[in-house]
């Protein structure tokens, strides 16, 4: 039976610890339940665990499907198949325990497998596309479909799923046998790097706010444009890296959008480069937020 929550208070779930109530949230546990949910609510929006999503403090008057309870995984030799809702660090640790190399970068990401495939996540010289075999997806025209690596059209922080009506429900990866201690040492190195360069997970944030433009770093551009001193309401650019926003004082979604526009505008004014947000937005009932999103995502 589908788990459906009415007037779901999403604030406690999002990594930014920001957001109002969503009219209806559905938590499928299998691909079959996911298909059932979409058949009942074909206009529903689909998310993982809302790691890089800003939900409006004014709420969302619609239906959302969250895949967080689709979290199983299986190993078959050097292959691992995982559901989209499985958290990346859990899969990274499981692969290390199996003596399999290729997912060490996931240990420092709070997101899910589906979200990381969706955006071709990567760090420290590793990325999803390096180990990807196939994705198990859903679209409204064909239902369940399987996409291989060529189908996915991976490039920097992008996949075909960002431009087509495709929902990732799971993925298969091919890893390589390696010494477990060497793998775990690399994972510790990645975690130490995150602690030094990014807010810890106890500080509400959504990871990188903007994508790196070709051949440059969003963090470098933002810092050069003076963004480390920026704030809007209770939202503030993190003091140690200009491409992160911290929500330490119960910032509203409007505060965060205002700050994102300010950051984007500063870089555009100085360098004539319009940074593209990595953060997705869910809302649309507040006039000011609609105006801000038109600037950010145009």
Question: Domain extents for the chain?
Answer: 3-66, 73-197, 218-278+286-296
Class of domain 3-66: alpha beta
Which tens digit of pLDDT belongs to each residue from 260-274?
Answer: 999 999 999 999 999
Give the integer Cα–Cα distance in Å for 198 and 192. 10
Angstrom distance (rounded) from CA 254 to CA 30: 35
For residue 200, pLDDT beyond 90: no
Cα separation, 208 vs 52, in Å, equals 8
CATH architecture label of 218-278+286-296:
Alpha-Beta Complex (3.90)
199 pLDDT above the threshold of 80 = no
Closest residue by Cα to residue 21 from 12, 10, 13, 36: 10
Average confidence (pLDDT) over 7-23: 93
User: Is there a common fold for 3-66 and 218-278+286-296?
Assistant: no
Kindly tell me if the per-residue pLDDT of 48 is higher than 70. yes
pLDDT-derived band of residue 126, with 50, 70 and 90 as boundaries?
confident
> Between residues 27 and 192, which one has the greater pLDDT?
27
Q: Specify the pTM.
A: 0.85
Sheet holding 79-83, edge to edge: 73-76, 79-83, 167-174, 132-139, 143-148
Active site residues: 157, 208, 278
SS3 content of the chain, % helix, strand, coil (to 5): 35, 30, 40
pLDDT of residue 201: 63
According to CATH, the topology of domain 73-197 is 3.30.465
Which residue reads 């050097």 in tokens? 78
Q: Name the β-bridge partners of 132.
A: 173
In this prediction, residues 220-231 reach a mean pLDDT of 98
pLDDT at position 181 is 92
């Amino acid at each position: 039976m589908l788990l459906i929550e009415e007037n779901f208070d999403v604030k406690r779930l999002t990594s930014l610890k920001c957001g109002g109530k969503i009219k209806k949230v559905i938590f499928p546990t299998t691909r079959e339940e996911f298909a059932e949910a979409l058949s009942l609510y074909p206009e529903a929006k689909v998310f993982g665990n809302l790691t890089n999503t800003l939900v409006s403090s004014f709420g969302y008057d619609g239906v959302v499907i969250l895949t967080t309870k689709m979290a199983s995984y299986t190993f078959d030799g050097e292959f691992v198949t995982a559901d989209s809702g499985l958290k990346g660090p859990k899969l990274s640790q499981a692969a290390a325990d199996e003596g399999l190399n290729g997912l060490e970068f996931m240990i420092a990401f709070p997101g899910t497998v589906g979200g990381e495939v969706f955006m071709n996540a990567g760090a420290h010289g590793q990325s999803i596309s390096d180990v990807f075999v196939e994705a198990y997806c859903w679209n409204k025209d064909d239902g369940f479909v399987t996409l291989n690596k060529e189908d996915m059209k991976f490039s920097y922080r992008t996949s075909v799923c960002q431009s087509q009506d495709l929902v990732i429900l799971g993925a298969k990866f091919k890893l390589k046998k390696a010494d477990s201690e060497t793998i775990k040492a690399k994972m510790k190195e990645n975690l130490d790097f995150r602690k030094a360069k990014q807010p810890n997970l106890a500080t509400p944030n959504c990871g990188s706010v903007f994508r790196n433009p070709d051949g440059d770093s969003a963090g470098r551009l933002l810092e050069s444009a003076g963004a480390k001193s920026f704030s809007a309401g209770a939202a503030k650019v993190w003091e140690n890296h200009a491409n992160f926003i911290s929500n330490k004082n119960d910032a509203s979604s409007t505060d965060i959008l205002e700050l994102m526009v300010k950051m984007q505008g500063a870089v555009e004014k100085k360098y004539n480069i319009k940074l593209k947000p990595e953060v997705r937005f869910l809302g649309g009932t507040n006039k000011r937020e609609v105006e801000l999103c038109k600037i950010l995502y145009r």
